Homo-oligomer: A and B are copies of this chain.
Amino acid sequence: MSDDQTAVRFGILGCANISIKLCKALSKAPNAKLHAIGSRSLEKATAFAAEHGLPEAVRVYGSYEGVLEDEEVDAVYIPLPTGLHVTWAVRAAERRKHVLLEKPVAMNVAELDRILEACEAHGVQFMDGTMWVHHPRTAKMKEALSDAQRFGQLKWIHSCLTYNPGPEFLKNSIRVKPDLDGLGALGDTGWYCIRAILWAVNYELPKSVLAFPGAILNEEGVIISCGSSMHWEDGRSATFHCSFLSYVTFDVTVLGTKGCLRLNDFALPFEESLGFGKFLEASELDYGKIEQGMWCPKPNEHVVETGFSQDILMVKEFADLVRKVQGCEMKPEKTWPVLSRKTQVVLDAVKESIEKGYQPVEL
């Protein structure tokens, strides 16, 4: 947390687990600080503040409205269940609060558009809470993919993000309730896969999306496990798999004509708390350096150091934009809402393909 008077003052709507992470990030970001937290009950918000040692200066509200009505709050972080996003993000924008919105950003692109229109109408910055794109490793990987000599042309991407939270979660978690996080595993884990795929193709939307048959839905119709293929007109393809039923994976493989990039911790580097992240990259250019006994070179391990962890970097980037918008140096940056919207468009297409009995959906 910065004591600097220029620090962006954040309000947090809700005491979700992810709020703990954001409180910590706000305590470390050089240009932001936690100003207020609100929950549906004052008791819950007070207990959260005490349990997580929030500074006494942090204001505690017994409603989300309380945070939005606080005129000293510059920006809000909204980690509420997805089904509540449209209501609270729009209200926040209407109160001229800049909006950092947890993913998945909305139940569908129509809801997201209402949020983005409100942000635009009220001149506030929008960004979603996808953290890994802010890690310096991500920029280094993009450099590797952009190296035509080593990587060649991109042909295929595969991503997999799964975890197995167990039977209690599958029965009771808000993440599997239709009126709360109604996108289930597709929203919670598939969001990352789709974002990784779009990131790899420089956010060019696929021409068509086809969900894999055999998606698993719970009794209330919420997706527990699914996957999809995507196709671009020039022959590039991608696939992903996301699930609440398998051991934890965070995989991305990007294949080019001449090289390959791979990592198994894309959404959160294994060594995040040690201040670095790694990825593997291989190229046919290394064939001249084959070690004795290897049929092809072992991939190169790239290590990327980072001064801040990716949650802090996200807060810092967002707060920088907020300050510039507040100082009339710029209008809200359009890139971030565009990336969120493209991710949601593909996510909606996957859901539609499942609902249509695994028919292809054209974009």
Please tell me if the beta carbons of B255 and A246 are within 8 angstroms of each other in the complex.
yes
Please tell me if the beta carbons of A258 and B164 are within 8 angstroms of each other in the complex.
yes
Say which one of A27-35, A174-182, A209-217 lies at the interface with B: A209-217
| Min C-beta distance of A2 to chain B, whole Å | 25
CB contact list, A290-332 vs B, under 8 A = 292-296, 298-299
Whether A82 is near chain B, meaning CB under 8 Å from some CB there, is no
What are 26 pairs between A and B in contact, CB < 8 Å?
A152-B164, A155-B225, A156-B241, A158-B160, A158-B241, A160-B253, A162-B255, A164-B258, A208-B213, A213-B360, A214-B229, A214-B232, A225-B237, A229-B239, A246-B257, A246-B260, A247-B283, A247-B284, A248-B284, A249-B255, A264-B299, A265-B295, A271-B293, A271-B294, A273-B295, A274-B293
1/0 per residue A188-213: CB within 8 Å of B? 00000000000000000000101011
Please tell me if the beta carbons of A260 and B270 are within 8 angstroms of each other in the complex.
no
Q: Can you add 5 more A-B contacts, CB < 8 Å, to A155-B245, A227-B239, A272-B295? A: A152-B164, A210-B213, A229-B229, A247-B257, A247-B283
The interface of chain A, by Cβ under 8 A from chain B, is 152, 155-156, 158, 160, 162, 164, 208, 210, 212-214, 216, 225, 227, 229, 231-232, 235, 237, 239, 241, 243, 245-249, 251, 253, 255-260, 262, 264-265, 268, 270-274, 282-284, 292-296, 298-299, 358, 360
| Min C-beta distance of A287 to chain B, whole Å | 10
Query: How many copies of this chain does one complex carry?
Result: 2
> Given A214-B237, A251-B253, A270-B295, is A158 in contact with B155 using a C-beta cutoff of 8 Å?
no
| Min C-beta distance of A45 to chain B, whole Å | 28
